[in-house]
Structure 1
Amino acid sequence: MWLPQLPIERLTRENSRPGRTAPPAKKPFALVGSDTHGLTLAAVNVSGRHAGLAPGMRLADARVICPALLTAPATPGEDADFLEALARWSSRYSPCLNVDGPDGLWLDITGIAHLFGGESGLLTDLERRFAKAGLGVRLGLAETLGAAHALAHFARTTPCIAAPGTLPETLAPFPIEALRLAPETALLLRRLGLKRIGQLYDLPRASLERRFHSKEAAERVLRRLDEALGTRGEKHAPLLPAPDFVARLSYPEPLISHDGVLAGLRRLSHELCGKLTRAGAGARRVVLWAARTDGSSLALEAGLSAPSSAPAHLERLLKEKLETIDMGYGVDLMTFAALAVEDLHPEQTGLSAAARKPGPEKLIDALAGRLGARTVRRLFPQDSHIPELAQNTRSAFANLPAWNGEASQKPPRPPLLLARPESLAVMAEIPEGPPARFTWRRVNRRVVKAEGPERIAPEWWRALGGGARQRTRDYYRIEDEDGCRYWVFREGLYREPDEDPPRWFLHGVFP
C-alpha cells in the first residue's frame, strides 16, 4: 500500500474542520523541509506537479519555476504517527502488518482474502475505505513483499495483482528503481545500460560485481532482486499490537450497593495500574464503564494533569462521582480503561514514604474533578526577564511546564507577586540605593534592613515591536521595623538626565 500524497492529505484532513484553512487543491502547494542542501520540497500536490515541481527540489528553484507556489512547513513526525495509526486501523484486513518507509504499509493477507470475497474484493474494499477517508492509495499484491512494493509504486493500474508463479514475467518490464535500491545504486546501473529488472536475469553475477566499487554494493542489488523474485527470504517484522490498558470485572450476582461498586473500583484500579507499570506508562485520562442488569450503562471519565499509575490516585478521582450514581437493578459488569497514556519517566524518591515530596498533581486533579477542567489552571514559564512577564497560565491538563534551574541561581524572589506593581511614595531616599522611608497604602514604614540591588535591564525588542518602552529596574529586598519584608524596585536611573525622574514600586511581599 503506497500513499503518495500522505503528508498533504493528512494536513487536508486535519484542517477540514470548521475554523481552519485547508491546503488549496487547485493551486500549486508544497510542504517545505530542511536538509543539508537547505530548504527543499518535501511533498507537492497534484497542481504543483503539473506546474513542474517535484519532491526533493530546492525551494529557491521551485519559486523560479512557479512564482505562485504556496507553502507550509513539513511535519514528518506527525506524518509518521498518522501512518502508524493507519497501519493499526488496517488490522481489520490482517493481523500481520507494518509501515513501509515514510509513505507506505504492507499487509500479509495469507489465508484471509476469502473473508472479503477473494483478493480482488479485499483490495477493492480497502481502496474504497481509503478514498472515503480522503486518502489516495496505490495497491499491489504479490507473493513477495518486494514484488508487491514494485507493483504499488510502478504498475500502470491500481490495484495490481501478480498471478502466482508469474513474478519474473511481471517484474521484467519494471524500471530498476522498483527493486528498492538507493538512488546512487540505481543511477550507476542505468549508466551501465541496465534500466529494466529483466536485464538482470541473465547477467552473470560475477560480471555485475566487477562493475561496482565494492562487493557489498553488488550484493545489495542481487539481494533485492532475489527478495523480489522469492528466491531469498526477507525479514519483515510485524507491528506490535498497542497495549490494551483495560481491566474488566464481572459478577455472577448484580451489585446493588455502592460499597460493592467501590470495592470493584479498587480492585480494577490495582489491575489497570499493574498493566501501566509494566509498560512504563501512566494514565492521562481514564473511564469507568458499568453495565446494569436492565441493559443500561453509565460511564464516568476523569482527566489527570500528569501521567500516573498510582491505584489510590485513580480510585480517588472517581470515588466521589461513583457514590452519586443510580445503581438501578444492580451492576453486573465493570470496565476500567486508560483512554490516553503517556510515558512515565522514573523519578528518584526518598528511602521512606515520608521523605518524598508530594507534587501538586493530586490537588490539581481533585480540584478539576469538583470545579471542572477548564476552571483549574497552572503557571507555565515564558521567555522574559521581566518578573510579571516570565510566566503565564494555561490549562492544568496541558503538558507539564518545563521549569529549568535558572530560578534557583537568582536572588530570592517572593512567592507572592502583586497583580500590578504598586507605586510607592519614598520620603527618605538614598541615591543609587534602597529607600530609607516609604509610604505604601497610606502607611508610613521605616526600613531597617535592605539587600540588593538586582538589576533587570529592559527588553529593547519589545519597544521595536510596538510595545511600551521599558526602563532599567533595580530590585531590593527590604524589611521594615515591624519585621515585614517587601520586594521593591526603582524604575529608571539617576544618571539619565534626559529621562523622567526614577520612580519606586512595590512588586511583592515575602512571608
Structure 2
Amino acid sequence: MTRVISIWLPTFATDRLTRIRNASCAAQADRAFATTEAVAGARRLAAVNGAAAGAGLAPGLPLADARAVVPDLAVAESEPAADLRALRALARWCGRWTPTVAVEGLSGTGGAGLWLDVTGCAHLFGGETALLESVRDRLAALGLTVRVGMADTPGAAWAAARFLDGVPDGGAALIPPGAQRQLLGGLPVAALRLPPPARETLGRLGLRTLDDLLRRPRAPLSRRLGPEVWRRLDQLLGHAPEPLAPLRPAVAHRVRIAFAEPIGRTEDVAAALDDLLARLCGVMDQAGRGVRRLDLTVYRVDGTVTRARIGTGRPSRDPAHLARLFRERLDGLDAGFGIEVMGLDATRHQPMTPAQTTLAAETGADGARDSLPRLIDRLVERCGADNVVRLSAWRSHRPERAQRAVAPDAPQAAQDWPAHRAPRPVRLLRRPVPVIPPTEAGRTIPERIGGEWWQGPAGGEVVDLLRVEDPDGARAWIARDRVGWTKRGVFP
C-alpha cells in the first residue's frame, strides 16, 4: 500500500526571509510582514505572513492600500528564484525520512509544497503517527509555518493537509489506508487542485463538495466539465495513477543510520561510516554487484545537508578500500552543531563476479593485480579525476594527434588503425623549433602527410617530414610546410 505525505508551507516566502535576516529582524516574527512585486507599474503584495493575513492583508493588494490598513507593515522584494532554490534545499533535507522527495513548487502567493513517498518507511520512525509528527515538529523548528497530511495517494494527502477540518496550522492529518473517500468527501471541490475557471463552473452547477461530484453520473457532466475534473477525482481516490517526480532518482542500494544523540567528532563519523560501508557491501555482495560511485549524505541538526562522493575505477565491495577513499572527504567535513542522520547510496554499480582468493598476503598475485586500480582510486580522490589520466592511441595520421589523454578506466581504443610504415620519433617537441633547411647529404627519403580534411579547418595542411642526421649522429624529424623548416621531434 502506497503512503504519501504532503507538506504545505502556506507562508514559505515570508518565512524564508524572516529566517535569513539578522537577530533584530528575526525577533519581529510576529510583526506584519509581506513581500512585494511590480505589477503594471504599481507595487502589490506578493506574499504575506500570518500576522499580516490576520490583519486583513492578502496577496494582490496594492501596497498603498495595505499600508493604509497596517501602517507599520514591513516589506521586502519578492524573490521567486531564491524561494525555489530554498525549497529544493529543503527537499534535500527531507531525505532524512525517505529517499523519494518531490517538489510540488511555489503557489504564486508565497506558499510552497513538497511530497514525500514514505511507503515502507513508517516503521523506522515508530509508526505513521510518529513519523507525521516528526515531519511537522522538525519543520516547525526551522521557523516554518507547516501543515502536513498523509494518505494513500498524493492527491488525498494534498487535500488533507490543506482542507481537512479540525487540523489547525501546524497540525497533522492522518488518513488511514483506504479511508480517503469517507473522510474527504465533505471537502470543497478546490481540494481537487483544479484551475479557477473549473471551480467557478462547478460552483454555478451547485457542485461544491466532493460528495456532490461522487453522487452525480459522469457521462452527462463530462462534456461540460471536461476530463480534468474526473482525472483529479480518480487520482485522489486512487483509481488513476499519479506518479511523483523525485528530486533525486531512487537508488536500489541504500543504507542509513540515525543517532540517538548528535555526533560531531571525526572519529565518531568515521566509525559510523565503517558501519554503513560494511552493511552496504554485504547488500552488494548478495546482489552480485560492485560499487563504482558512492554518495555519503550527512544531515545536520541545524537543518543543513552536506554530501561527499567517491568513485572507483573498477567495481569494488571492499569496505576497507572504500573507507580509505572517504578519508580525505571526512577530514574536511564540517559537523556544525552535530550530525543526526547519515545515509550511504550506491548511485553507480556494476556486476561483479566472485574471484578466487588465496592464502597469500596482498603482495601475492591477487594483491598485485588489484594494487594499481586501488592506487588510481586514491590518486583520483586526492588529486581530482581530471588530473589522473593515461595516454591512449587515437586514429590520426598526424603524429601530434595520434594519442589523447583519457580516464584511467576508459575502454581501450580500437586496434584496427593501420600501423605507420615510416618510423616515428620517440619524442615530439611541444613547440616546433625553426631550423636551417637541411642539405642534400643529410636527408633521408621524405614522408608526406596530408591534411585531415574531415576535421575541417583544424585538420591542418599537407606537410613534408624528413629524417636528418647531424655530424654527431643525432637524428631529428624536420618538417616543411608553408611556415618554413621546423624541427618537430627527435629519434633515439
TM-score class, shorter-chain normalisation, is 0.3 to 0.5
Q: Report 1 or 2 for greater relative contact order, CA contacts < 8 Å, sequence distance ≥ 6.
A: 2
**TM-score normalized by structure 1?**
0.46
Bigger helix share: 2
Q: TM-score, normalised by structure 2?
A: 0.48
